[in-house]
Structure 1
Amino acid sequence: MRSGWWLVLCWPLVALAQPDPIRADVVRHGDIVMLSVEFTVAVPQALAWEVMVDFDHMPAFLPQLDESRAVARSTNHLEVHQRGHYTVAGLPFSYESVRDVSLQPITEIRARTLEGNAGRMESICDLQQRGEQTVVKYRADWTPGSVWQSAIGTGFLKQQLVRQFDAMQQEMLRRKAHSITPASAP
Protein backbone atom coordinates (compact mmCIF):
# COMPACT_ATOMS: atom_id res chain seq x y z
CA MET A 1 0.00 0.00 0.00
CA ARG A 2 2.82 2.35 0.84
CA SER A 3 4.40 1.89 -2.60
CA GLY A 4 1.12 2.88 -4.23
CA TRP A 5 1.08 6.18 -2.31
CA TRP A 6 4.70 6.80 -3.25
CA LEU A 7 3.83 6.37 -6.92
CA VAL A 8 0.87 8.75 -6.66
CA LEU A 9 2.95 11.40 -4.86
CA CYS A 10 6.03 11.03 -7.06
CA TRP A 11 4.35 10.43 -10.44
CA PRO A 12 4.80 14.08 -11.55
CA LEU A 13 8.54 13.79 -10.87
CA VAL A 14 8.79 10.48 -12.71
CA ALA A 15 6.88 11.93 -15.68
CA LEU A 16 9.20 14.95 -15.83
CA ALA A 17 12.26 12.70 -15.96
CA GLN A 18 11.06 11.01 -19.17
CA PRO A 19 11.96 12.75 -22.44
CA ASP A 20 9.12 13.78 -24.72
CA PRO A 21 8.48 11.46 -27.64
CA ILE A 22 9.80 12.53 -31.02
CA ARG A 23 6.96 13.13 -33.49
CA ALA A 24 8.16 12.55 -37.04
CA ASP A 25 6.47 12.41 -40.42
CA VAL A 26 7.70 11.57 -43.91
CA VAL A 27 5.61 12.29 -47.02
CA ARG A 28 6.54 11.80 -50.68
CA HIS A 29 5.35 14.27 -53.31
CA GLY A 30 6.73 13.09 -56.63
CA ASP A 31 10.53 13.28 -56.46
CA ILE A 32 10.51 15.33 -53.24
CA VAL A 33 10.44 13.78 -49.77
CA MET A 34 9.07 16.09 -47.08
CA LEU A 35 10.44 15.39 -43.59
CA SER A 36 9.17 16.88 -40.35
CA VAL A 37 10.04 16.42 -36.70
CA GLU A 38 8.73 18.03 -33.54
CA PHE A 39 9.55 17.46 -29.89
CA THR A 40 9.65 19.28 -26.58
CA VAL A 41 12.66 18.96 -24.31
CA ALA A 42 13.10 20.13 -20.73
CA VAL A 43 16.15 22.33 -21.34
CA PRO A 44 16.62 26.07 -21.89
CA GLN A 45 16.50 27.25 -25.50
CA ALA A 46 20.18 28.27 -25.39
CA LEU A 47 21.19 24.72 -24.45
CA ALA A 48 19.05 23.18 -27.20
CA TRP A 49 20.65 25.62 -29.64
CA GLU A 50 24.13 24.71 -28.43
CA VAL A 51 23.54 21.05 -29.28
CA MET A 52 21.82 21.73 -32.62
CA VAL A 53 24.77 23.80 -33.91
CA ASP A 54 27.61 21.76 -32.37
CA PHE A 55 28.58 20.41 -35.78
CA ASP A 56 32.19 19.68 -34.83
CA HIS A 57 31.15 17.30 -32.01
CA MET A 58 28.06 15.67 -33.58
CA PRO A 59 29.75 12.32 -34.36
CA ALA A 60 30.12 11.83 -30.59
CA PHE A 61 26.35 11.78 -30.07
CA LEU A 62 24.67 11.17 -33.45
CA PRO A 63 24.48 7.56 -34.63
CA GLN A 64 25.73 6.85 -38.13
CA LEU A 65 27.57 10.18 -38.43
CA ASP A 66 31.27 9.48 -38.93
CA GLU A 67 32.61 12.98 -39.53
CA SER A 68 31.23 16.49 -39.13
CA ARG A 69 33.03 19.80 -39.18
CA ALA A 70 32.43 23.43 -39.97
CA VAL A 71 34.95 24.14 -42.73
CA ALA A 72 34.13 27.85 -43.03
CA ARG A 73 32.66 30.24 -40.47
CA SER A 74 31.44 33.81 -40.35
CA THR A 75 29.22 35.57 -37.83
CA ASN A 76 25.95 33.74 -38.52
CA HIS A 77 26.98 31.52 -41.38
CA LEU A 78 28.70 28.13 -41.66
CA GLU A 79 29.74 25.71 -44.33
CA VAL A 80 29.48 22.22 -42.86
CA HIS A 81 31.00 19.01 -44.24
CA GLN A 82 29.48 15.73 -43.02
CA ARG A 83 30.14 12.10 -43.80
CA GLY A 84 28.20 9.10 -42.51
CA HIS A 85 26.71 5.71 -43.18
CA TYR A 86 23.46 3.76 -42.95
CA THR A 87 22.25 0.26 -43.67
CA VAL A 88 19.11 -0.54 -45.65
CA ALA A 89 17.95 -4.16 -45.92
CA GLY A 90 21.40 -5.31 -44.83
CA LEU A 91 23.19 -3.28 -47.50
CA PRO A 92 25.68 -0.63 -46.35
CA PHE A 93 25.58 2.87 -47.84
CA SER A 94 27.68 5.92 -47.15
CA TYR A 95 26.94 9.57 -47.74
CA GLU A 96 28.79 12.84 -47.83
CA SER A 97 27.47 16.37 -47.99
CA VAL A 98 28.53 19.98 -47.80
CA ARG A 99 25.81 22.31 -46.53
CA ASP A 100 25.40 26.04 -46.33
CA VAL A 101 24.03 26.83 -42.84
CA SER A 102 22.51 30.18 -41.87
CA LEU A 103 22.01 30.88 -38.18
CA GLN A 104 19.58 33.19 -36.49
CA PRO A 105 20.67 32.71 -32.87
CA ILE A 106 19.02 31.13 -30.82
CA THR A 107 15.82 30.58 -32.75
CA GLU A 108 16.43 29.33 -36.30
CA ILE A 109 18.84 27.18 -38.32
CA ARG A 110 18.47 27.05 -42.11
CA ALA A 111 20.53 24.69 -44.26
CA ARG A 112 20.81 23.79 -47.90
CA THR A 113 22.97 21.26 -49.70
CA LEU A 114 25.85 22.63 -51.75
CA GLU A 115 27.37 19.33 -52.87
CA GLY A 116 27.68 15.64 -52.06
CA ASN A 117 26.03 12.33 -52.85
CA ALA A 118 23.17 12.60 -50.32
CA GLY A 119 20.86 14.45 -52.68
CA ARG A 120 19.54 17.99 -52.43
CA MET A 121 18.04 19.13 -49.13
CA GLU A 122 16.73 22.38 -47.77
CA SER A 123 15.79 22.50 -44.11
CA ILE A 124 14.72 24.83 -41.35
CA CYS A 125 14.83 24.17 -37.63
CA ASP A 126 12.93 26.45 -35.23
CA LEU A 127 13.56 26.53 -31.49
CA GLN A 128 11.06 28.21 -29.16
CA GLN A 129 11.23 28.60 -25.40
CA ARG A 130 8.01 27.52 -23.63
CA GLY A 131 8.38 28.01 -19.90
CA GLU A 132 11.28 25.80 -18.82
CA GLN A 133 11.16 23.73 -22.00
CA THR A 134 12.17 24.18 -25.62
CA VAL A 135 10.02 23.17 -28.58
CA VAL A 136 12.09 22.00 -31.56
CA LYS A 137 10.43 21.95 -34.99
CA TYR A 138 12.36 20.69 -38.01
CA ARG A 139 11.16 20.63 -41.62
CA ALA A 140 13.07 19.59 -44.72
CA ASP A 141 12.49 18.96 -48.40
CA TRP A 142 14.82 16.27 -49.72
CA THR A 143 15.38 15.25 -53.32
CA PRO A 144 17.24 11.91 -53.25
CA GLY A 145 20.57 11.86 -55.07
CA SER A 146 20.32 8.35 -56.53
CA VAL A 147 17.91 5.61 -57.55
CA TRP A 148 18.90 3.72 -54.39
CA GLN A 149 18.06 6.69 -52.16
CA SER A 150 14.74 7.13 -53.99
CA ALA A 151 13.87 3.51 -53.18
CA ILE A 152 14.21 4.01 -49.40
CA GLY A 153 10.81 3.61 -47.80
CA THR A 154 9.11 6.31 -45.76
CA GLY A 155 8.99 3.99 -42.73
CA PHE A 156 12.77 3.64 -42.73
CA LEU A 157 13.24 7.40 -43.18
CA LYS A 158 10.87 8.12 -40.29
CA GLN A 159 12.76 5.63 -38.10
CA GLN A 160 16.05 7.37 -38.95
CA LEU A 161 14.61 10.82 -38.18
CA VAL A 162 13.38 9.65 -34.80
CA ARG A 163 16.74 8.03 -34.07
CA GLN A 164 18.70 11.17 -35.00
CA PHE A 165 16.51 13.63 -33.10
CA ASP A 166 16.23 11.32 -30.10
CA ALA A 167 20.04 11.33 -29.94
CA MET A 168 20.01 15.14 -30.05
CA GLN A 169 17.37 15.27 -27.31
CA GLN A 170 19.40 12.88 -25.17
CA GLU A 171 22.52 15.01 -25.67
CA MET A 172 20.58 18.11 -24.59
CA LEU A 173 19.43 16.35 -21.43
CA ARG A 174 22.92 14.97 -20.78
CA ARG A 175 24.48 18.45 -21.04
CA LYS A 176 21.79 19.88 -18.77
CA ALA A 177 22.46 17.18 -16.15
CA HIS A 178 26.22 17.86 -16.32
CA SER A 179 25.67 21.60 -15.93
CA ILE A 180 23.93 21.04 -12.59
CA THR A 181 26.71 20.35 -10.11
CA PRO A 182 26.20 19.98 -6.36
CA ALA A 183 27.52 23.52 -5.88
CA SER A 184 25.04 24.96 -8.38
CA ALA A 185 22.05 22.79 -7.46
CA PRO A 186 19.33 24.52 -5.40
Structure 2
Amino acid sequence: MMYRRHLPDAMTLRTQRCLRVIAVLTLALLPVAGLQAASDQDIEVRVKKNGPEVAVDVDCPVNASAAVTWEVLTDYDHMSEFLSDVQHSSVQARDGHTLQVYQKGKAERGLLSITFENLREVELVPYQEIRSRLISGDLKASAFTTRVVDDGTLVHIINSGRYTPKLWVPPVIGPTLIEAETRKHFGELRNEILRRHALRVKAPSASLPPPGKSLASDAPR
Protein backbone atom coordinates (compact mmCIF):
# COMPACT_ATOMS: atom_id res chain seq x y z
CA MET A 1 0.00 0.00 0.00
CA MET A 2 1.20 3.50 -0.80
CA TYR A 3 -0.22 6.74 0.60
CA ARG A 4 0.64 10.36 1.36
CA ARG A 5 2.38 10.57 4.73
CA HIS A 6 0.41 13.66 5.77
CA LEU A 7 -2.99 11.95 5.42
CA PRO A 8 -4.68 11.05 8.74
CA ASP A 9 -4.19 7.36 9.51
CA ALA A 10 -7.92 6.73 10.01
CA MET A 11 -8.79 8.31 6.67
CA THR A 12 -6.10 6.31 4.91
CA LEU A 13 -7.31 3.06 6.49
CA ARG A 14 -10.94 3.69 5.53
CA THR A 15 -9.96 4.55 1.98
CA GLN A 16 -7.79 1.46 1.72
CA ARG A 17 -10.54 -0.85 2.97
CA CYS A 18 -13.16 0.63 0.67
CA LEU A 19 -10.83 0.40 -2.33
CA ARG A 20 -9.90 -3.17 -1.54
CA VAL A 21 -13.54 -4.27 -1.33
CA ILE A 22 -14.37 -2.59 -4.63
CA ALA A 23 -11.33 -4.05 -6.39
CA VAL A 24 -12.10 -7.57 -5.16
CA LEU A 25 -15.79 -7.39 -6.07
CA THR A 26 -15.08 -6.02 -9.52
CA LEU A 27 -12.59 -8.79 -10.32
CA ALA A 28 -15.03 -11.44 -9.09
CA LEU A 29 -17.65 -10.19 -11.55
CA LEU A 30 -15.72 -11.65 -14.47
CA PRO A 31 -17.29 -14.76 -16.04
CA VAL A 32 -13.94 -15.60 -14.35
CA ALA A 33 -11.43 0.45 -12.26
CA GLY A 34 -11.85 5.81 -11.89
CA LEU A 35 -14.77 7.41 -13.57
CA GLN A 36 -16.67 5.55 -16.26
CA ALA A 37 -16.51 6.78 -19.83
CA ALA A 38 -19.58 8.48 -21.25
CA SER A 39 -19.79 5.75 -23.90
CA ASP A 40 -20.44 3.19 -21.15
CA GLN A 41 -23.62 4.84 -19.83
CA ASP A 42 -25.84 2.39 -21.75
CA ILE A 43 -24.45 -0.45 -19.60
CA GLU A 44 -27.08 -1.05 -16.92
CA VAL A 45 -25.64 -1.86 -13.50
CA ARG A 46 -27.69 -2.39 -10.35
CA VAL A 47 -25.96 -2.86 -7.00
CA LYS A 48 -27.82 -3.63 -3.78
CA LYS A 49 -26.38 -4.26 -0.34
CA ASN A 50 -28.35 -6.70 1.83
CA GLY A 51 -26.58 -6.91 5.17
CA PRO A 52 -23.12 -8.35 4.51
CA GLU A 53 -24.13 -9.53 1.03
CA VAL A 54 -23.79 -7.47 -2.15
CA ALA A 55 -26.01 -8.27 -5.15
CA VAL A 56 -25.00 -7.09 -8.62
CA ASP A 57 -26.95 -7.25 -11.89
CA VAL A 58 -25.54 -6.12 -15.23
CA ASP A 59 -26.99 -5.78 -18.73
CA CYS A 60 -24.26 -4.88 -21.21
CA PRO A 61 -25.44 -4.47 -24.84
CA VAL A 62 -22.89 -5.24 -27.54
CA ASN A 63 -23.16 -4.58 -31.27
CA ALA A 64 -21.21 -7.70 -32.20
CA SER A 65 -21.76 -11.39 -32.84
CA ALA A 66 -22.57 -13.81 -30.04
CA ALA A 67 -19.57 -15.92 -31.11
CA VAL A 68 -17.05 -13.12 -30.58
CA THR A 69 -18.77 -12.06 -27.36
CA TRP A 70 -18.41 -15.59 -26.00
CA GLU A 71 -14.81 -15.74 -27.15
CA VAL A 72 -13.83 -12.65 -25.16
CA LEU A 73 -15.80 -13.61 -22.05
CA THR A 74 -14.00 -16.97 -21.90
CA ASP A 75 -10.53 -15.81 -22.96
CA TYR A 76 -9.18 -16.20 -19.43
CA ASP A 77 -5.56 -16.67 -20.49
CA HIS A 78 -5.47 -13.21 -22.11
CA MET A 79 -7.72 -11.06 -19.91
CA SER A 80 -4.77 -9.15 -18.47
CA GLU A 81 -4.24 -7.74 -21.97
CA PHE A 82 -7.58 -5.92 -22.12
CA LEU A 83 -8.77 -5.50 -18.50
CA SER A 84 -6.86 -2.71 -16.79
CA ASP A 85 -7.04 -4.03 -13.20
CA VAL A 86 -6.08 -7.62 -14.06
CA GLN A 87 -2.34 -8.35 -13.91
CA HIS A 88 -2.51 -12.11 -14.39
CA SER A 89 -5.25 -14.48 -15.54
CA SER A 90 -4.90 -18.15 -16.44
CA VAL A 91 -6.74 -21.46 -16.60
CA GLN A 92 -5.18 -23.67 -13.91
CA ALA A 93 -7.20 -26.83 -14.57
CA ARG A 94 -9.71 -28.08 -17.13
CA ASP A 95 -12.17 -30.97 -17.02
CA GLY A 96 -14.43 -30.82 -20.05
CA HIS A 97 -16.40 -27.59 -19.76
CA THR A 98 -15.41 -27.01 -16.13
CA LEU A 99 -12.37 -24.80 -15.50
CA GLN A 100 -10.40 -23.50 -12.56
CA VAL A 101 -9.39 -19.90 -13.26
CA TYR A 102 -6.79 -18.01 -11.24
CA GLN A 103 -6.64 -14.23 -11.43
CA LYS A 104 -4.81 -11.50 -9.60
CA GLY A 105 -4.72 -7.79 -10.10
CA LYS A 106 -4.00 -4.36 -8.71
CA ALA A 107 -6.32 -1.42 -8.30
CA GLU A 108 -4.82 2.05 -8.09
CA ARG A 109 -6.58 5.23 -6.98
CA GLY A 110 -4.27 8.18 -6.66
CA LEU A 111 -1.33 7.12 -4.52
CA LEU A 112 -3.15 4.09 -3.12
CA SER A 113 -2.34 0.68 -4.58
CA ILE A 114 -4.18 -2.53 -3.59
CA THR A 115 -3.46 -6.05 -4.84
CA PHE A 116 -6.05 -8.86 -4.91
CA GLU A 117 -6.43 -12.42 -6.20
CA ASN A 118 -8.87 -15.33 -6.42
CA LEU A 119 -9.36 -18.85 -7.72
CA ARG A 120 -12.76 -19.68 -9.20
CA GLU A 121 -14.53 -22.68 -10.63
CA VAL A 122 -16.08 -21.78 -13.98
CA GLU A 123 -18.67 -23.99 -15.67
CA LEU A 124 -19.27 -23.28 -19.36
CA VAL A 125 -22.50 -23.95 -21.24
CA PRO A 126 -21.27 -23.16 -24.79
CA TYR A 127 -22.15 -20.56 -26.18
CA GLN A 128 -24.87 -19.44 -23.83
CA GLU A 129 -23.96 -19.35 -20.15
CA ILE A 130 -21.00 -19.08 -17.77
CA ARG A 131 -21.40 -20.09 -14.11
CA SER A 132 -18.72 -18.98 -11.70
CA ARG A 133 -18.18 -19.63 -8.00
CA LEU A 134 -15.36 -18.72 -5.66
CA ILE A 135 -12.97 -21.46 -4.51
CA SER A 136 -10.57 -19.22 -2.59
CA GLY A 137 -9.55 -15.59 -2.47
CA ASP A 138 -10.46 -12.20 -1.05
CA LEU A 139 -14.18 -12.88 -0.56
CA LYS A 140 -16.10 -15.14 1.82
CA ALA A 141 -18.34 -16.32 -1.01
CA SER A 142 -19.19 -15.41 -4.60
CA ALA A 143 -21.48 -16.98 -7.20
CA PHE A 144 -22.36 -15.46 -10.57
CA THR A 145 -24.04 -16.44 -13.81
CA THR A 146 -23.30 -14.71 -17.10
CA ARG A 147 -25.56 -15.27 -20.12
CA VAL A 148 -25.01 -14.31 -23.75
CA VAL A 149 -28.40 -13.34 -25.20
CA ASP A 150 -28.94 -12.41 -28.86
CA ASP A 151 -32.21 -10.50 -29.27
CA GLY A 152 -31.83 -10.25 -33.04
CA THR A 153 -30.61 -6.66 -32.91
CA LEU A 154 -27.92 -6.65 -30.24
CA VAL A 155 -26.15 -9.19 -28.09
CA HIS A 156 -26.66 -8.68 -24.36
CA ILE A 157 -24.21 -9.79 -21.67
CA ILE A 158 -26.47 -10.51 -18.69
CA ASN A 159 -24.49 -10.92 -15.48
CA SER A 160 -26.15 -11.62 -12.13
CA GLY A 161 -24.96 -12.83 -8.76
CA ARG A 162 -24.02 -12.16 -5.16
CA TYR A 163 -20.91 -11.74 -3.01
CA THR A 164 -20.15 -11.87 0.66
CA PRO A 165 -17.02 -9.75 1.18
CA LYS A 166 -14.60 -10.26 4.06
CA LEU A 167 -14.41 -6.52 4.62
CA TRP A 168 -17.15 -4.06 5.48
CA VAL A 169 -18.80 -2.26 2.54
CA PRO A 170 -20.08 1.27 3.32
CA PRO A 171 -23.89 1.26 2.80
CA VAL A 172 -24.14 4.35 0.54
CA ILE A 173 -20.80 5.15 -1.07
CA GLY A 174 -19.89 1.45 -1.40
CA PRO A 175 -22.65 0.46 -3.87
CA THR A 176 -22.18 3.71 -5.81
CA LEU A 177 -18.46 3.10 -6.29
CA ILE A 178 -18.99 -0.59 -7.08
CA GLU A 179 -21.53 0.40 -9.75
CA ALA A 180 -19.04 2.79 -11.38
CA GLU A 181 -16.19 0.27 -11.25
CA THR A 182 -18.39 -2.51 -12.62
CA ARG A 183 -19.59 -0.35 -15.51
CA LYS A 184 -16.00 0.49 -16.43
CA HIS A 185 -15.03 -3.19 -16.21
CA PHE A 186 -17.76 -4.27 -18.62
CA GLY A 187 -16.94 -1.31 -20.84
CA GLU A 188 -13.42 -2.68 -21.22
CA LEU A 189 -14.81 -6.13 -22.02
CA ARG A 190 -17.09 -4.60 -24.64
CA ASN A 191 -14.24 -2.63 -26.20
CA GLU A 192 -12.30 -5.85 -26.72
CA ILE A 193 -15.37 -7.58 -28.16
CA LEU A 194 -15.87 -4.74 -30.64
CA ARG A 195 -12.19 -4.78 -31.59
CA ARG A 196 -12.27 -8.50 -32.36
CA HIS A 197 -15.63 -8.24 -34.10
CA ALA A 198 -14.14 -5.65 -36.46
CA LEU A 199 -11.37 -8.13 -37.27
CA ARG A 200 -13.99 -10.82 -38.01
CA VAL A 201 -15.76 -8.52 -40.44
CA LYS A 202 -12.48 -8.25 -42.33
CA ALA A 203 -11.92 -12.03 -42.08
CA PRO A 204 -15.42 -13.60 -42.18
CA SER A 205 -14.11 -17.14 -42.67
CA ALA A 206 -13.20 -17.42 -38.97
CA SER A 207 -15.12 -20.13 -37.08
CA LEU A 208 -16.35 -20.53 -33.51
CA PRO A 209 -13.58 -21.08 -30.94
CA PRO A 210 -13.55 -24.07 -28.57
CA PRO A 211 -15.15 -23.23 -25.19
CA GLY A 212 -12.70 -21.36 -23.00
CA LYS A 213 -10.34 -20.74 -25.90
CA SER A 214 -9.75 -17.55 -27.85
CA LEU A 215 -10.23 -17.60 -31.59
CA ALA A 216 -8.06 -14.49 -31.94
CA SER A 217 -5.59 -14.96 -29.09
CA ASP A 218 -2.68 -14.68 -31.50
CA ALA A 219 -4.09 -11.83 -33.56
CA PRO A 220 -1.89 -8.72 -33.65
CA ARG A 221 -2.98 -6.01 -31.20
Counterpart among 94, 115, 137 of residue 73 in structure 1? 94
Mapped to 1, the partners of 2:197 and 2:65 lie a distance apart of: 9
Aligned partners of 1:86 and 1:92 also within 8 Å: yes
SS, match of residue 202 in structure 2: coil
Counterpart among 44, 50, 66 of residue 45 in structure 1? 66
Instruction: Using structure 2 for the length normalisation, give the TM-score.
Output: 0.69
Alignment of 1:112 onto 2:142 = no
Change (3 A) 1:37 1:20: same
SS, match of residue 180 in structure 1: helix
Residue of structure 2 equivalent to 1:57: 78
What pairs up with 1:141-180 in 2 under 5 angstroms? 141-147=162-168, 150-151=169-170, 153-180=174-201
Q: Give the CA deviation at 1:19.
A: 7.4
Q: Which runs of 5+ in 1 are unaligned?
A: 1-17
Q: Give the CA deviation at 1:119.
A: 3.9
Change (3 A) 1:101 1:90: same
Change (3 A) 1:40 1:31: same
Name the count of aligned residue pairs.
Answer: 165
Residue of structure 1 equivalent to 2:156: 135
Moved more, 80-89 or 137-146: 80-89
Mapped to 2, the partners of 1:78 and 1:182 lie a distance apart of: 29
Q: Give the CA deviation at 1:88.
A: 5.5
SS, match of residue 144 in structure 2: strand
Change (3 A) 1:145 1:90: farther
Alignment of 1:97 onto 2:124 = no
Q: Percent identity?
A: 28
Mapped to 1, the partners of 2:139 and 2:88 lie a distance apart of: 14
Change (3 A) 1:133 1:52: same
Aligned partners of 1:95 and 1:118 also within 8 Å: no
1:63-95 alpha-carbon deviations (Å, 9 max, x no partner): 110100000012211000000122467532211
Mapped to 1, the partners of 2:67 and 2:46 lie a distance apart of: 26
Mapped to 2, the partners of 1:90 and 1:82 lie a distance apart of: 23
**RMSD over equivalenced CA pairs, Å:** 2.1
Change (3 A) 1:88 1:181: closer
The structure that is strand-richer by fraction is: 1
Aligned partners of 1:32 and 1:141 also within 8 Å: yes
Change (3 A) 1:64 1:182: closer
1:117-149 alpha-carbon deviations (Å, 9 max, x no partner): 2442100001111225211110120111234xx
Moved more, 130-139 or 99-108: 130-139
Give the greater-gyration-radius structure (CA): 1
Aligned partners of 1:108 and 1:125 also within 8 Å: yes
